[in-house]
């Protein structure tokens, strides 16, 4: 750790708050078409901001040391899922020093195969923390470019990309701390782009090309899901966007990518389930919903079960709502005999349907974050990457308030104690909740005022 965290963390929270406000104000003017930025300017600023953090050692998380350890194990011909680091004799001083920096060396790695390939690439290229961070940095810039492409096809301002490219979450959690989540975001966004290429394709697109887009969407989705597993919960929403044979093609692409990625690590890959089980049963951090339920039920297991059931109900509801909208829009197109009939007949979707699809993804991601017992700041990258496509004030406020959880690092560094309380998780929830209530009030007030004007 560098610097005095008693001052740097409060400074971090203040600077990120100002950044989030500035980006929100800028987007407001972008929507009014008062200002705009070219793709070059957006990327140039994104690169500049990230470079301030790229060469600094990680200060808020030590996960990257586990990344390098796993990468070196693969380069040495070892399966990272075979043994826990504490069971392995370091081959040299570099490995020995790295082992001392690992958290939970007694556990087999929890990171899925796609992540392992990135770890291996980073270890091969530079054999250093800075080198691995640079690889993640370039992949993150790739995510910015993919977002621009999606926005362009949706006929939305490319300037909205700044909601991700300039947001403090990816800057700090990828460029500074070097979290692998950015790689999953890159493949996930690519999967959305390929799906968009199919469902919003022109009527004269060849059938084979359309099939290829669907297949590669599923293929890339598999890569994303094997960086962090949460995208599997989003698969039903993706499948709703296509129908018939196209669902089979998406599933085939998904299964093929999973097979390609997992087979080289079998049979030791199954050891990941033990670590994953420990994580799901015992890990908790900075989540108000879990802490409140545990206080009420006096049981962590019961609280986790309630949250899991609640989350699955949300996924089911959002998936069925999207399905219903898809059916209704198809029937509406048929009844009005519009030019979109041929598109719907081929299993394609309108721009409005694609926006509903993105909204479903956004809400499911938000639900994962709010209902998971463990809420680390870097988990929110999965939500921030959707801000340029579909964002609300609750999500933007939440993406800043989650930085409050870093207060715990101060106690850990200076006192050697991992001390949590309920106040900070409550504050993290408070901002988004108030913004939702305020939005509902303003909408009600606006509708009521317009109704009064109409009556007069």
Q: Using one digit for the tens of pLDDT, what is the confidence trace for 383-441?
A: 999 999 987 788 888 988 888 888 877 666 555 666 677 788 888 888 888 887 877 77
Q: Count of alpha carbons within 13 Å of 320, Cβ hemisphere only? A: 6
Token pair, residue 360, equals 């479903």
Beta strands in 32-161 (DSSP E): none
**Of 72-81, 82-91, 347-356, 394-403, minimum mean pLDDT range:** 347-356
DSSP class of 406? G
Start-end of H helices in 173-206? 181-199
pLDDT at residue 244 above 80?
A: no
* Among 180-184, 207-211, 349-353, the range of highest mean pLDDT: 180-184
Q: Are 164 and 173 in contact (CB under 8 A)?
A: no
Q: What is the pLDDT of residue 119?
A: 95
* Residue closest to 365 by CA, chosen among 122, 154, 181, 166: 181
Distance CA 286, CA 378 (A): 13
**Of 29-38, 113-122, 139-148, minimum mean pLDDT range:** 29-38
Q: What is the pLDDT of residue 392?
A: 79
Q: What is the pLDDT of residue 432?
A: 82
Over residues 47-60, the mean pLDDT reads 87
pLDDT at residue 216 above 80?
A: yes
Q: What is the pLDDT of residue 223?
A: 97
Q: Are 244 and 347 in contact (CB under 8 A)?
A: yes
Rounded to the nearest 5 degrees, what angle is found at the Cα of 423, between the Cα atoms of 420 and 429?
A: 110
Q: What is the pLDDT of residue 344?
A: 40
Return all residues near 410 (Cβ < 8 A) that are at least 6 apart. 5, 6, 9
Over residues 446-453, the mean pLDDT reads 58
Q: Are 55 and 130 in contact (CB under 8 A)?
A: yes
Would you call 354 exposed, middle or buried from its count of C-beta atoms within 10 A (0-12, 13-18, 19+)? Answer: buried
**Of 271-275, 372-376, 424-428, 444-448, minimum mean pLDDT range:** 444-448
pLDDT at residue 450 above 90?
A: no
**Of 197-211, 236-250, 289-303, 323-337, minimum mean pLDDT range:** 323-337
Q: Are 76 and 193 in contact (CB under 8 A)?
A: no
Q: What is the pLDDT of residue 346?
A: 43
**Of 108-122, 241-255, 400-414, minimum mean pLDDT range:** 400-414
Question: With pLDDT > 70 as the criterion, what percentage of the chain qualifies?
Answer: 85
Q: Are 432 and 394 in contact (CB under 8 A)?
A: yes
Start-end of H helices in 156-180? 162-165, 168-170
How many domains does one find in the chain?
1
Q: What is the pLDDT of residue 263?
A: 95
pLDDT at residue 341 above 50?
A: no
Distance CA 83, CA 40 (A): 46
Q: Which domain holds residue 142?
A: 5-455
Do you know the residue count of the chain?
456
How much is the pTM? 0.89
Q: Are 239 and 319 in contact (CB under 8 A)?
A: no
Distance CA 70, CA 401 (A): 32
Q: Are 142 and 22 in contact (CB under 8 A)?
A: no
Decide: helix, strand or coil at residue 429. helix
pLDDT at residue 339 above 50?
A: no
* Residue closest to 14 by CA, chosen among 406, 379, 366: 406
**Of 59-63, 80-84, 92-96, 119-123, minimum mean pLDDT range:** 92-96
């Amino acid at each position: 750790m560098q610097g005095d965290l008693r001052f740097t963390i409060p400074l971090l929270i203040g600077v990120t708050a100002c950044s989030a406000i500035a980006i929100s104000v800028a987007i407001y003017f972008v929507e009014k078409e008062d200002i705009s930025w070219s793709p070059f300017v957006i990327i140039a600023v994104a690169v500049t901001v990230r470079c301030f953090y790229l060469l600094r050692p990680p200060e808020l998380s030590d996960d990257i040391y586990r990344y390098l350890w796993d990468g070196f194990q693969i380069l040495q011909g070892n399966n990272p899922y075979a043994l826990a680091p504490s069971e392995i004799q370091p081959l040299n001083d570099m490995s020995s020093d790295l082992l001392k920096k690992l958290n939970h060396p007694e556990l087999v790695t929890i990171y899925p195969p796609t992540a392992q390939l990135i770890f291996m690439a980073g270890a091969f290229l530079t054999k250093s923390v800075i080198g691995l961070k640079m690889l993640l940095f370039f992949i993150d810039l790739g995510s910015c470019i993919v977002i621009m492409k999606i926005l362009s096809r949706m006929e939305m301002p490319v300037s909205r990309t700044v909601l991700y490219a300039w947001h403090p979450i990816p800057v700090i959690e990828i460029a500074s701390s070097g979290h692998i989540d950015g790689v999953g975001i890159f493949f996930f966004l690519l999967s959305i782009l390929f799906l968009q290429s199919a469902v919003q394709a022109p009527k004269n697109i060849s059938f084979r090309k359309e099939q290829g887009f669907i297949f590669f969407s599923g293929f890339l989705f598999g890569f994303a899901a094997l960086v962090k597993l949460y995208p599997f919960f989003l698969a039903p929403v993706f499948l709703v966007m296509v129908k018939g044979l196209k669902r089979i093609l998406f599933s085939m692409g998904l299964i093929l990518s999973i097979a390609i990625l997992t087979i080289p690590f079998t049979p030791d890959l199954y050891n990941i389930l033990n670590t994953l089980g420990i994580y799901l049963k015992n890990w908790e951090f900075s989540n108000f919903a879990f802490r409140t339920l545990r206080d009420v039920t006096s049981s962590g297991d019961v609280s986790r079960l309630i949250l899991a059931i609640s989350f699955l109900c949300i996924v089911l509801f959002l998936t069925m709502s999207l399905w219903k909208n898809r059916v209704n829009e198809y029937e509406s197109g048929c009844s009005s005999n519009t030019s979109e009939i041929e598109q719907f007949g081929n299993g394609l979707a309108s721009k409005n349907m694609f926006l509903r699809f993105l909204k479903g993804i956004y809400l499911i991601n938000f639900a994962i974050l709010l209902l998971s017992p463990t809420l680390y700041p870097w988990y929110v990258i999965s939500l921030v990457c959707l801000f340029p496509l579909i964002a609300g004030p609750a999500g933007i406020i939440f993406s800043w308030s989650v930085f409050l959880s870093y207060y715990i690092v101060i106690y850990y560094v200076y006192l050697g104690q991992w001390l949590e309380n309920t106040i900070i998780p409550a504050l993290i929830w408070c901002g988004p909740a108030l913004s939702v209530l305020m939005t509902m009030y303003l909408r009600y007030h606006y509708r009521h005022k317009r109704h009064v004007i109409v009556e007069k």
